[in-house]
Structures are given as C-alpha cells and as structure tokens.
Structure 1
Amino acid sequence: MCTTNLCIAFYVLTFCILGWFGALALILIKSTKDQGNVYVVDPIACWINSELVNPLNCFKGEVIKPLLNDLSTAAREWNAIVGSKPKMNF
C-alpha cells in the first residue's frame, strides 16, 4: 500500500471521479425509465453548450484570433525590415 501524500491524493481523486460517474449513471438510468431522456439529457446538453462551448468560442474569437492577427502582422513587418537585409548584425 502506498503511503505518500501524492499516492493517497491520487486514490481519493480516483474514488471521487468514479463516484461522480456512478451517480450520474444512476440518475440517467432512473430518469430514462421514469420520464425519458428529456428530463436529464437535454438540460445537461444545454448546460454543456452554454457553459463550455460558448465561452470557448468566445475565447477563440476574442483572444486567439486577434493575437494571431497581431503576430502575423508583426512577422510580416519584421520580414519586410530584416528579411530584406540579410547582412544586418544584431
């Protein structure tokens, strides 16, 4: 048996993750038998879309694209200044 703190933390994290997956599976099984997928699956899909996918798209549009545009502009300007003069010493 492992007694280091890292190993114990790994075991606890594993049990927590397995517990959450087990609870989710039981909820899905019970709600599917009782009311169908509309009761559980649709709200979970809506939550995933609103909390995970939309912020990811927003981050990509607001941060990643402008950063890539700025980097490509800086690379073109650098290439125009330094790339045309290969014998410049730094």
Structure 2
Amino acid sequence: MIADFAIHANEQARQQRKVAVPLKPSHQRTPWDILQISAQSDKEAVKNAYRRLARLYHPDLNRSHNATAEMQALNAAYDAALSALDNAGQPL
C-alpha cells in the first residue's frame, strides 16, 4: 500500500512538471488552427477540442509564464468557432 502511494505521488509530481507547448500568436492563426481541428468540424468536435486543450493550457494546470495569454487565445478561438457555427445555421 505504501508502494502504491509512492508510485501515485511520483506520477502526480511528473504531471505537475509537464508544461504544454505554447500556442502561436492568435493573429497568425484561425480559430480552427488554434483548436487543432478542421474548419468543417461540428459543435461537438469544437467542444471536445476546447476541453482537451484547456487541460493543457489552463493557468492552474500549466506553469508556463504565458499560460494566461495562451488560455485567452484558446477562449477567443472557442467563442469564434461556436459563433461561426451558430451563424452558419441561420438563414440570411
């Protein structure tokens, strides 16, 4: 049981040290590039991509000095992608 705790503690420490690769500046990329999905993706794919990337870039989980900016770019991309999908379904 003590060995299991030590293994779990080591794994937890390793996860905390892991730092995500920084996102490129959002002015150079589309929302779909930032979310790492196709522009033809549906809402479910957008949400899944956002959740996956938020686990990497959220400032509470990412110890990078620019984690806040990365998460802000991700949030903006998520909002833009959902808005584009909502607007695409509305008649002109």
TM more than 0.5: no
Structure having the larger proportion of residues in helix? 1
Q: Who wins on radius of gyration, i.e. which is larger?
A: 1
